[in-house]
């Protein structure tokens, strides 16, 4: 008598043996189990094991769990709501307006940090009123560029003989992509094509890093390094970052002289 | 309203529609994440991260697919990322400290008999150890097939592999678990 394989018995347990080619359909397996003590013992062992695994409990989450999750993640969601949320409840319009204004100011300063960018007259007129937000935004933009640079530099400097786990860098790249899009949208809003173009390059690189397999081969790492060098993206970020820091210092001095 | 209809609303700029999807899928995702990571705190983190990632990647979601399956895949990846990062940092895992946040530590009856406590402790340790011996793909395939009741073909879709590969991951997982737990089962 030909015995049933353990694989067939596992499929039988899950009721999927009919998905495999004949002759091991449900009826055939059951008939065999009735007749064969050895296979019946093996199947019994399998059932006992899986019943034991079934004792694994999961802590209960109440009906309101989804609402609690939403409360926690909502502040961290990218700015889709702020740009496109025309269905916002009326009471949130004020907050959305403040956020939008902040982003426009950010675009203004970001646009001015990049060499050769011409500020528009309309925005220039707003600048003197924006000393406080200016410094805050400078810090935020500076921090964003620094974090982007760190991810790229870490990957560019990684040398390995075997596959490298880059899941932590991918996670950081994913977060940065969302921020990049926010700044790009802002730049596009103010017509700052130069800043948009640098951020577009950065976004492409970050998205590619994020979409790599989490274990990167030495060859893929080398290709990434060559690409970073060829596009000069780290250099461009450094230039932009230096301009941001310089602008931050000026803004702080300006604010200090007014006190 | 269906998931796809809600996705369309989110894409059209109605972020509040995303709240419905979060509320609809949170508990399922928590259960999956808990099975995958083995502790509540990590599972909570995975649920939140999964929804954040899904929101960011919504533009890439193919509407011909099931939103639930797509979300599952993201949650599975988040869980795997977390487990790998934890292992890389050498943090304490459920198997290393079975009393802490271990899935089975909450299984005991309110007032268990001493022999039951001894057995559940042994089962817990063996099961935790056996689960941690599974490779990432084996553990994922097993959790999806056994606990979530997905058919193997669907498991393959979530894992992004052929059904045959998913099937073999399930086989290997069950075989390893049986080898580890069989002595306990036969002692009963």
Q: How far is B14 from chain A (nearest CA, A)?
A: 6
From 3.20.20.70, 1.10.1740.10, 3.30.930.10, 1.10.10.60, which CATH number describes the B1-94 domain?
A: 1.10.1740.10
Domains of chain A, by residue range, sit at 6-54, 93-258
| Portion of chain A with pLDDT greater than 90, in percent | 11
| CA atoms of B112 and A89, how far apart (whole Å) | 53
In this prediction, residue B1 carries a pLDDT of 82
Inter-chain residue contact A50 with B13, CB threshold 8 Å: no
Contacts 24+ apart (CB under 8 A), B147-151: B147/A56, B147/B31, B147/B32, B147/B35, B148/B31, B148/B32, B148/B35, B151/A16, B151/A19
Contact A65 B27 (CB under 8 A): yes
Give the pLDDT confidence score for residue A112 in this predicted structure: 57
> CB B55 to CB A80 under 8 A?
yes
Query: A141 and A109 in contact (C-beta within 8 Å)?
Result: yes
Question: Across all residues in chain B, what is the average pLDDT?
Answer: 78
From B23, B123, B127, residue closest to A66, measured CB to CB: B23
**Chain B residues closer than 8 Å to A49 by CB:** 174, 177-178, 181-182, 185
Q: Are strands A164-165 and A215-216 parallel, antiparallel or unpaired?
A: antiparallel
pLDDT band at residue A148 using 50, 70 and 90 as cut-offs: confident
A165 interaction partners in chain B (CB closer than 8 Å): 84, 88
Exposed/middle/buried for residue A253 (C-beta within 10 Å: 0-12, 13-18, 19+): exposed
Mean pLDDT along residues A221-245: 78
Dihedral angle over CA of B152, A48, A58, B143, nearest 10: -20
pLDDT (0 to 100) of residue A69 = 95
When scoring B31, B46, B51 by the number of chain A Cβ atoms within 10 A, the one with the most, hence best to mutate, is B51
Of the pLDDT bands very low, low, confident and very high (cuts 50, 70, 90), residue B172 is very high
Q: How do the domains of chain B map onto residue ranges? A: 1-94
Q: Is A223's pLDDT higher than 60?
A: yes
Instruction: Select from B180, B183, B73, B74 the least CA-distant residue to B132.
Output: B180
Give B78→chain A minimum CA distance, Å: 9
Q: Which residue has the tokens 């678990």?
A: B177
ipTM: 0.75
Q: Which of B80-84, B116-120, B158-162 has the lowest mean pLDDT?
A: B116-120
How many angstroms away from the CA of A258 is the closest CA of chain B?
A: 42
Mean pLDDT of chain A: 73
Give backbone dihedrals phi and psi of B15, rounded to 5 degrees, phi first.
-65, -25
Q: Output the pLDDT for position A87.
A: 39
Would you state the CATH architecture of domain A93-258?
Answer: Up-down Bundle (1.20)
Q: Which chain B residue has the Cα nearest residue A173?
A: B53
Measuring CA to CA, how many Å separate A185 from each of A94, A100, A196, A205, B108?
Answer: 20, 11, 8, 18, 54
Our CA-based measurement puts residue A206 at a distance from the nearest CA of chain B, in whole angstroms, of 14
């Amino acid at each position: 008598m030909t015995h049933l394989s353990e694989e067939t018995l596992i499929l039988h347990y899950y009721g999927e043996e009919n998905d495999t080619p004949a002759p091991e359909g449900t009826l055939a397996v059951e008939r065999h189990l009735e007749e064969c003590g050895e296979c019946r013992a093996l199947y019994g062992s399998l059932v006992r094991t899986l019943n034991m695994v079934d004792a694994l409990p999961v802590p209960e989450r109440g009906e309101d769990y989804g609402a609690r999750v939403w409360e926690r993640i909502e502040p961290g969601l990218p700015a889709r709501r702020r740009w496109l949320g025309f269905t916002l409840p009326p009471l949130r319009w004020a907050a959305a307006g403040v956020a939008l204004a902040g982003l426009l100011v950010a675009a203004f300063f970001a646009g001015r940090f990049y060499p050769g960018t011409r500020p528009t007259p309309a925005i220039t007129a707003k600048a003197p009123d924006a000393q406080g937000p200016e410094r805050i935004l400078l810090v935020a933009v500076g921090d964003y560029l620094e974090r982007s640079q760190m991810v790229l530099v870490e990957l560019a400097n990684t040398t390995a003989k075997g596959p490298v786990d880059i899941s932590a860098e991918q996670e950081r790249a994913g977060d940065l992509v969302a921020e990049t899009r926010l700044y790009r949208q802002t730049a596009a809003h103010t017509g700052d094509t130069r800043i948009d173009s640098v951020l577009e390059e950065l976004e492409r690189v970050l998205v590619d890093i994020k979409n790599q397999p989490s274990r990167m081969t030495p060859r893929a790492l080398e290709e990434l390094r060559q690409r970073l060098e060829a596009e000069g993206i780290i250099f461009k970020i450094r230039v932009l970052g230096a301009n941001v820091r310089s602008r931050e210092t000026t803004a702080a001095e300006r604010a200090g002289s007014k006190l | 309203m269906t998931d796809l209809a809600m996705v369309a609303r989110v894409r059209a700029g109605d972020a509040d529609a995303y709240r419905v999807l979060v509320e609809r899928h949170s508990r399922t995702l928590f259960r999956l994440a808990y099975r995958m990571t083995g502790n509540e705190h990590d599972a909570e983190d995975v649920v939140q991260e999964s929804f954040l990632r899904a929101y960011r990647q919504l533009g890439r979601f193919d509407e011909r697919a099931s939103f639930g399956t797509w979300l599952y895949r993201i949650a599975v990846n988040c869980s795997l990322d977390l487990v790998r990062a934890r292992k890389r940092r050498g943090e304490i895992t459920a198997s290393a400290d079975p009393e802490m946040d271990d899935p089975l530590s909450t299984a005991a009856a309110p007032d268990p008999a001493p022999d039951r406590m001894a057995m559940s402790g042994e089962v817990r340790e063996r099961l935790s150890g056996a689960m941690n011996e599974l490779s990432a793909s084996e553990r994922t395939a097993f959790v999806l097939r056994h606990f979530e009741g997905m058919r193997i073909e669907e498991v393959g879709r979530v894992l992004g592999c052929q059904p045959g590969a998913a099937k073999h991951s399930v086989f290997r997982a069950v075989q390893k678990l049986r080898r580890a737990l069989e002595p306990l089962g036969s002692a009963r």
